[in-house]
């Protein structure tokens, strides 16, 4: 591996490609369109690995990110975020260039779109089956039908279907509870499909959260999948039960800058601006990462009881065991598996593969 001197996001290309292949094949086996969410990796280079598995349509979380991937040649892009009408200029620019799918959950935006669009867009009505973030509640059938009818009646807006991010699966801690969330969600979707199938024959139901897409093998009443995080996975997904630690494809390499032997505590160069501040709470204590040893080929299994217990702007505090502590010295480099890989990748702004290639990230933040 290359010489690491500052916090650096390492990418295990092999694991990442394995993760991509697995979900692309699952989508194919279920005969559903694969619309992977690119907000996790935000990288043109990694996007190509999806293309190599047959992906033709993608999902992103902002119009800026859509522009970045449109520039890379992607022709069908869903913005899986409530339509931000204030960026209508960018919406029109993109709608001219690619097949653009937007999400709405209210009449006001449809009205504003109709008066301001200059090119056709496809619209998903966003549905909420329990996450409670955005979207129309799944049992508010009248509003859903009204919205679809409204979209259908206008010159530049076409009905695409329903979009659902069952994000409450993130509260789960095992496969059974993820399946419960999924079963509940698709029972709502089945009803909605029945209600709409005659009027909207090309109707699509797009579904996608990483826990569900990881543990469910057979999808019903769904036409497309759009998970994101599973390209890398992370400690949160491992805690949920969506992956094992061997599926986690990124680690942050962090120099050791200070060692406190009395407290078995190490300070690493790697803080909130490198990891973001997402925490797991384990036994009532926040945990910001787990420690691995860097090896010639990547990194070791997680070192038991060696955890990142605090993050300030650039400092990370790591609690180590006696045994690991004895081997450490200032100037060593530790690996840290992140709690939330999407945010960590955003913070670090580029990837270093295990064979020494740098891959770009949309945020292009270079300083780390």
Q: Which chain residues interact with its own copies by CB under 8 A? A: 3-6, 39, 61-62, 64-65, 68, 81-87, 105-106, 108-109, 112, 132-134, 167, 255, 257-260, 263, 265, 267, 269, 272-273, 276-278, 310, 312-315, 317, 329-331, 333, 342-343, 346, 349, 362-368
Cα 343 from Cα 272, distance rounded (Å): 10
CB of 52 to its own copies, least distance (A): 26
CB of 126 to its own copies, least distance (A): 8
Nearer to its own copies, 178 or 348 (CB): 348
Nearer to its own copies, 135 or 193 (CB): 135
CB of 105 to its own copies, least distance (A): 6
CB of 314 to its own copies, least distance (A): 5
Nearer to its own copies, 32 or 172 (CB): 172
Report how far apart, in Å, the C-alpha atoms of 300 and of each of 231, 249, 307, 327, 347 are. Answer: 20, 12, 15, 15, 24
Nearer to its own copies, 193 or 274 (CB): 274
Kindly state the DSSP code that residue 232 receives in the 8-state scheme.
T
Helices (H), 7-103: 13-29, 44-51, 63-71, 88-97
CB of 96 to its own copies, least distance (A): 18
Structure token digits, residue 245: 């630690």
CB of 208 to its own copies, least distance (A): 14
- Apex CA 56: angle with CA 248 and CA 158, to 5°? 120
Which one, of 213, 222, 229, lies nearest residue 175 by Cα? Answer: 213
Report how far apart, in Å, the C-alpha atoms of 59 and of each of 101, 170, 196 are. Answer: 9, 19, 24
Nearer to its own copies, 29 or 330 (CB): 330
Q: Residue holding tokens 């997904």?
A: 237
Cα 70 from Cα 75, distance rounded (Å): 7
Nearer to its own copies, 84 or 353 (CB): 84
Report how far apart, in Å, the C-alpha atoms of 139 and of each of 34, 130, 146, 315 are. Answer: 27, 11, 13, 47
CB of 283 to its own copies, least distance (A): 18
Nearer to its own copies, 239 or 265 (CB): 265
């Amino acid at each position: 591996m290359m010489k690491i001197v500052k916090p650096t996001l390492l990418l295990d290309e092999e694991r990442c490609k394995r993760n991509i292949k697995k979900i692309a094949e699952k989508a194919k086996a279920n005969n559903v369109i694969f619309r992977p969410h690119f907000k996790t990796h935000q990288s043109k280079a990694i996007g190509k690995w999806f293309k190599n598995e047959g992906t033709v349509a993608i999902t992103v979380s902002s119009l800026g990110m859509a522009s970045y991937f449109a520039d890379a040649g992607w022709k069908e892009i869903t913005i899986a975020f409530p339509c931000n009408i204030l960026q209508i200029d960018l919406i029109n620019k993109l709608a001219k260039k690619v097949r653009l799918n937007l999400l709405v959950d209210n009449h006001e935006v449809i009205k504003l779109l109709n008066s301001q669009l200059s090119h056709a867009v496809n619209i998903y009505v966003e549905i909420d089956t329990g996450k409670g973030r955005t979207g129309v509640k799944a049992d508010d059938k009248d509003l859903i039908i009204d919205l679809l009818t409204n979209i259908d009646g206008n010159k530049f807006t076409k009905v695409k279907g329903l979009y659902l991010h069952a994000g409450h699966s993130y509260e789960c801690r095992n496969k059974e509870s993820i399946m419960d969330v999924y079963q509940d969600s698709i029972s709502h979707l089945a009803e909605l499909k029945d209600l709409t199938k005659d009027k909207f024959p090309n109707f699509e139901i797009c579904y996608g959260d990483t826990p569900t897409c990881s543990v469910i093998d057979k999808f019903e009443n769904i036409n497309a999948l759009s998970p994101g995080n599973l390209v890398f996975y992370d400690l949160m997904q491992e805690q949920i039960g969506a992956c094992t630690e061997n599926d986690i494809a990124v680690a942050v390499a962090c120099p050791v800058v200070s060692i406190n032997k009395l407290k078995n505590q190490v300070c690493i160069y790697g803080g909130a601006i490198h990891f973001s501040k997402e925490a797991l709470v384990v036994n009532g204590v926040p945990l910001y990462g787990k420690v691995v040893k860097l090896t010639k080929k990547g990194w070791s299994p997680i070192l038991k009881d060696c955890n990142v217990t605090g993050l300030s702007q650039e400092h990370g505090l790591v609690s180590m065991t006696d045994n690991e502590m004895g081997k450490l010295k200032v100037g060593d480099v530790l690996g840290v598996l992140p709690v939330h890989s999407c945010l960590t990748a955003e913070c670090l702004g580029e990837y270093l593969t295990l064979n020494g290639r740098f891959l770009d990230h949309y945020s292009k933040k270079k300083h780390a």
